Structure 1
Amino acid sequence: MTALSPDTHAHLGWRPAKGFGFARGTALVPIAVAELPRVAQAMPVAFAKAEGQWQALGVMGPISGSNVYVSRAGNWRASYVPALLRVYPFHLEGTETLALWSSYAPEPLVGDEVQPFYKEADLAPWLQETHRFLRTVHDGIAQLHGPLEALAAVGALSPWAGPALEVPQPDRALSGLYRLEAERLAGCADGLALELFRAGHLRWLYAHLDSLHHAERFKALAKDIVAPPLESPRQPDKVDRAADVLAAIAQDLGDTEL
């Protein structure tokens, strides 16, 4: 990440993304508890530890560096865009500092459609809103650690590798991913089960379980991107027609509850 600062970026700016090509090489994205059920309707959701903290991750490809939800034209091919991808090119460094994706190059403000980072030494109003949104998202990501740590402690999480690939690439395999074992959840102590129920965690835990079947479509989605069939141009399907709408959504933070 490249942290924003008025000393470095006061006379620079950014352009809104025209599509989702920037995420083509991103296979995993952290997701907040509030959006997990919606993410689970579109893609597998798995769990992993990062710097000692459990997270939920949207799994967007079968191997590292691949994202089957971004078309060759950069359109989004699912019904929901994870929150952290909706605010490209911005991210949080740590828990407070607004930063840019490492691959993004700021531009001089003289360019067409270039939006300023700063206004009179303060973040521009839209970026202040982006900053608040990202803090909300990161708070929602952090809320998943406690219940997942408790489930891991009783052996209710097990490794998950997704579907086998026809052409394995061990050096690009996704690793460190876990899934919930429903039988072990059902057999956990009454105290933990009641705690999970009262805290509202069962909704997203079962959404996670329901999401894993999406990985079965990875091969077909990837094949359509890498080796599209040789045929006459087809009429746009529902996913293609929705791409423009989703691109517009990406420019709108939506409500702060995700």
Structure 2
Amino acid sequence: MSTPPLYGNLVPLDREAHKHLRLKTELPTVDRVAGLNSLFLAVVEFAEACKEFPIVFVRVGEAPTDGSKQAVAPLAVMGLRAGSNLFVKDGKWTGNYVPAYLRRYPFAMARLDQDTDTVAVCYDSEWPGFSVTEGQALFGTDGEPTEFLSNARTFLENFEQESERTRHACQALQELDLLQDMRFEATLGNGEKLDVDGFLAVDEKKLAELPDAKVVELHRNGLLSLLEMHRISMGNMNRLAVQQANQA
């Protein structure tokens, strides 16, 4: 079982082994992302996220050997330097929108075996918010999940469904070859130069050259609006540069 970014040690929840486990929900989780300059974003989040963050695409997984396009995934950019999150200050989240990837913490759905589709609700055993004496109980005295844990599971299941929908949307963009490698450069007030690369953005020329029938298809399946929100969001790169300069 692989460990995704943000998490320390994922452990599958077991109603017997963890029957006394509780979660101190008042403990803020924001510090977990203080050192992350980007987070995964599902396409259903684009409408809110594009108002604050640049939304870019990055290659994920291994490059295929059959000549097909490598998989990509969307990210919300929160800092222009590695290890810097401009939306975390003094242990608090300063943005208006919090990506679902962070909101699901310290829980996650994880595949127990790479060779099967068996998934389970897991928790980050390294998160200090877990206790056997304080906080919200995860299991009742009958061993059944509490309402709190059931709600968390529902959120996780919805997150996984939206992640799968996002995967299909990105696959469609790749098949149409609508993404290209991009670079962002900026010069801060003190003369320092910022150079951000390693991400993909929409290829405006190829998008403009699509046949009318394909454009209509993209409009009807929602991909055209996703691309537009992505394009709008790229204006936030300059805003991040200003934030970076003010922080410096």
Q: One fold, TM greater than 0.5?
A: yes
- Match for residue 4 of structure 1 among 13, 17, 24: 13
**Code of the aligned partner of 1:142:** E
Higher helix share: 1
Q: What does 1:87-126 align with in structure 2 at a 5 Å threshold?
A: 87-94=104-111, 96-101=119-124, 103-105=126-128, 107-111=130-134, 114-119=135-140, 120-126=142-148
Secondary structure of the corresponding residue to residue 160 of structure 1 = strand
Instruction: Check whether the contact 1:84–1:91 (CA below 8 A) recurs between aligned residues.
Output: no
Instruction: Check whether the contact 2:185–2:193 (CA below 8 A) recurs between aligned residues.
Output: no
Q: Distance in 1 between the 2:182 and 2:244 partners?
A: 20
Q: Distance in 2 between the 1:12 and 1:88 partners?
A: 16
Q: Aligned pair 1:46/2:56, yes or no?
A: yes
Identity %: 24
Q: Aligned pair 1:157/2:179, yes or no?
A: yes
Q: Distance in 2 between the 1:89 and 1:212 partners?
A: 30
Q: What does 1:155-234 align with in structure 2 at a 5 Å threshold?
A: 155-164=177-186, 166=192, 175=198, 177-225=199-247, 227=248
- Match for residue 57 of structure 1 among 72, 75, 92: 75
Give the length in aligned residue pairs: 219
Q: Distance in 1 between the 2:87 and 2:237 partners?
A: 12
Q: Distance in 1 between the 2:167 and 2:211 partners?
A: 19
Q: Distance in 2 between the 1:8 and 1:159 partners?
A: 48
Q: Distance in 2 between the 1:126 and 1:162 partners?
A: 43
**Code of the aligned partner of 2:211:** A
- Match for residue 28 of structure 2 among 7, 18, 26: 18
**Code of the aligned partner of 1:60:** M
Secondary structure of the corresponding residue to residue 123 of structure 1 = coil
**Code of the aligned partner of 1:3:** P
Instruction: Check whether the contact 1:56–1:141 (CA below 8 A) recurs between aligned residues.
Output: no
**RMSD (Å), alpha carbons:** 2.6
TM-score normalised according to structure 1 size: 0.73
Following superposition, the deviation at residue 168 of structure 1 comes to: 6.5
Following superposition, the deviation at residue 224 of structure 1 comes to: 4.5
